[in-house]
């Protein structure tokens, strides 16, 4: 969470002649790349057709080489592998369009690497569009360059980055190769935030509803897999952890597949059967920020044990709470498949200004290794997808829930004396009953903050004594309005 706690010294470390020269040097890793995709819903009189396939590949690093864990601070070298990391993919084909989604256990992946994955996938399968998301896990290798051995030194191992790109592409290709007749059912499950997740910055707005796309075989009704969309930082182990782990998304996926294996009191056999299949976890609107902090006590719903201090057991309890909610809901409300769902896809490349001085310096020094099509501007992407009564908006970073769900305020101490710009909220604009929001999708640009809540100069919001964290890891005050407007246009032009 505390991404840039030590990066203030970067201003000095990079304030050299070489750094000043590099500040004016731009390098585009994918020159000329621009996406403007419109694939409308194609309804026809043909027999219903829906094929879905899943794939997964392990992306756990080898520890023979130094592995620097991402998030919190620099110098956090991995000492062990507690559990494996995965790239999990789902491919949907409605007979007209083919959509892929791959979710990685990672802190984040820049748009340049997303393009690289897509180009690998193009050689293996015929997808019309691929969404690459990351869980934003803070116990995974640095893939963004910000958490190396010390301030000003990248923690990215290029060999590992190439490995992740390759494995993600293989997972998607496996999903495409396993396409089979399927049915899709949609769920919305309210999740109680108390004792689970907190909002560390006012206003208190959560993206707490869990949304699920459940895929069953059209032949025998068995579970093929699912996509689960919820919003929380996977940083349950906190900054003291040095073991690689998938955090609560890993326990959630395992629980959905295999069920719970600990009874209350006796530690006996399974208390709840799993669904089988392969499951993706896709994060939502986690800005603000949504987290299970050391001050949050989480109670395991099966063992009854309560955990406050960061631990693997606490992460497991978070995953079990979500998994139990899903399993009980699916058991109580049997699948109601969508009738002949059709896909539509719209996606757009956007350029965003880099107003953050630390980001500019890190880009100039190569600590952040991503292309700049123009000086102090980066290429990113938004998308809007519909599938039957579901709609999906993809956001390239950690968006504040106010922009997604409403509740933007004009607080005292804000830098801009303006009313909300990012209105209506995205979910008010989105059609359909089930409204998914994929955060950290196709990029990782940091926090996306409502401009009326922007606070980078004192006095601080609500009379706070210190500056807030979000602005330190945001591109700038115009990011929120630009991303909101780009998604709004895609929705309204559909």
State residue 271's pLDDT score: 77
Tell me the average pLDDT of the chain.
92
State residue 26's pLDDT score: 61
Name the β-bridge partners of 336: none
Higher local confidence (pLDDT), 441 or 46: 441
State residue 485's pLDDT score: 98
Question: Does residue 2 surpass a pLDDT of 60?
Answer: no
* Residues 299-308, mean pLDDT to the nearest whole number: 95
> How far is the C-alpha of 357 from the C-alpha of 339, rounded, in Å?
51
State residue 494's pLDDT score: 84
* CB neighbours of residue 427 within 10 Å: 18
Question: Does residue 216 surpass a pLDDT of 70?
Answer: yes
- Whole-model pTM: value is 0.94
Burial class of residue 389, CB neighbours in 10 A (0-12, 13-18, 19+):
middle
* Residues 199-213, mean pLDDT to the nearest whole number: 95
State residue 268's pLDDT score: 57
State residue 269's pLDDT score: 60
Q: How confident is the model at residue 19 (pLDDT cuts 50, 70, 90)?
A: very low
pLDDT in tens, 251-266: 999 999 999 876 554 4
Higher local confidence (pLDDT), 42 or 442: 442
Question: Does residue 47 surpass a pLDDT of 70?
Answer: no
Please report, for the chain, the start and end positions of each structural domain, with discontinuous segments joined by +: 1-494
State residue 263's pLDDT score: 56
Question: Does residue 96 surpass a pLDDT of 90?
Answer: yes
Question: Does residue 32 surpass a pLDDT of 50?
Answer: yes
State residue 69's pLDDT score: 98
Question: Does residue 274 surpass a pLDDT of 60?
Answer: yes
* Residues 439-446, mean pLDDT to the nearest whole number: 98
Contacts of 62 (CB under 8 A, 6+ apart): none
* Residues 393-409, mean pLDDT to the nearest whole number: 98
Question: Does residue 228 surpass a pLDDT of 90?
Answer: yes
> How far is the C-alpha of 288 from the C-alpha of 232, rounded, in Å?
10
φ, ψ of residue 194 in degrees (nearest 5): -60, 130
Higher local confidence (pLDDT), 24 or 351: 351
Question: Does residue 330 surpass a pLDDT of 90?
Answer: yes
Higher local confidence (pLDDT), 106 or 13: 106
State residue 267's pLDDT score: 54
Residue 292 DSSP one-character state: -
State residue 22's pLDDT score: 47
pLDDT in tens, 411-430: 999 999 999 999 999 999 99
DSSP string, 78-96: --EESS--EEEEEEEE-SS
How many helical (H) and strand (E) elements, i.e. helices and strands, does the chain have? 10, 23
State residue 336's pLDDT score: 82
* Residues 164-185, mean pLDDT to the nearest whole number: 97
* 230, containing H or E segment: strand 223-230
């Amino acid at each position: 969470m505390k991404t840039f706690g030590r990066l203030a010294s970067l201003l000095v470390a990079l304030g050299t002649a070489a750094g000043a020269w590099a500040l004016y040097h731009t390098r585009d890793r994918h020159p000329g790349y621009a996406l403007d995709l419109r694939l409308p819903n194609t309804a026809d009189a043909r027999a219903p057709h829906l094929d879905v396939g899943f794939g997964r590949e392990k992306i756990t690093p080898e520890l023979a080489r130094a592995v620097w864990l991402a998030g919190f601070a620099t110098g956090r070298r991995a000492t062990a592998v507690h559990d494996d990391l995965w790239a999990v993919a789902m491919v949907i084909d409605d007979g007209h369009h083919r959509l892929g989604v791959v979710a990685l256990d990672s802190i984040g992946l820049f748009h340049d690497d997303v393009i690289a994955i897509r180009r690998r996938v193009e050689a293996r399968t015929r997808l019309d569009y691929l969404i690459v998301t990351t869980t934003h896990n803070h116990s995974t290798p640095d893939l963004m360059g910000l958490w190396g051995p010390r301030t000003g030194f990248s923690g990215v191992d290029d060999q590992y980055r190439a490995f992740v790109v390759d494995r993600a592409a293989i997972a998607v290709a496996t999903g495409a190769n396993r396409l089979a007749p399927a049915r899709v059912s949609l769920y919305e499950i309210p999740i109680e935030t108390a004792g689970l997740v907190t909002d560390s910055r006012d206003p208190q707005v959560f993206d707490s509803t869990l949304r699920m796309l459940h895929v069953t075989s059209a032949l025998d009704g068995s579970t093929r897999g699912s996509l689960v969309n919820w919003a929380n930082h996977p940083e349950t182990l906190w900054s003291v952890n040095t073991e690689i782990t998938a955090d609560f998304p890993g326990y959630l996926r395992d629980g959905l597949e295999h069920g719970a294996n600990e009874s209350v009191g006796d530690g006996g056999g399974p208390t709840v059967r799993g669904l089988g299949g392969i499951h993706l976890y896709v994060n939502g609107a986690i800005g603000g920020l949504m987290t299970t902090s050391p001050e949050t006590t989480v109670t395991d719903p099966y063992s009854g044990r309560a955990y406050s201090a960061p631990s693997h057991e606490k992460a497991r309890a978070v995953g079990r709470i979500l998994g139990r909610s899903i399993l009980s809901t699916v058991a109580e409300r049997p699948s109601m498949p969508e009738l002949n769902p059709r896909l539509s896809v719209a996606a757009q490349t956007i350029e965003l200004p880099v107003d953050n001085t630390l980001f500019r310096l890190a880009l100039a020094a190569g600590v952040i290794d991503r292309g700049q099509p123009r000086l102090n501007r980066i290429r990113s992407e938004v998308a809007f997808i519909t599938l039957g009564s579901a709609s999906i908006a993809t956001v390239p970073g950690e968006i504040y829930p106010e922009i997604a769900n409403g509740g933007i305020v004009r607080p005292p101490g804000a830098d801009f004396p303006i009313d909300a710009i990012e209105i209506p909220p995205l979910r008010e604009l989105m059609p359909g009953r089930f409204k998914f929001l994929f955060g950290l999708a196709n990029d990782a640009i940091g926090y996306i903050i409502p401009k009326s809540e922007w606070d980078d100069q004192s006095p601080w919001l609500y009379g706070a004594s210190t500056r807030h964290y979000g602005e330190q890891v945001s591109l700038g005050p115009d990011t929120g309005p630009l991303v909101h407007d780009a998604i709004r246009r895609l929705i309204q032009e559909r």
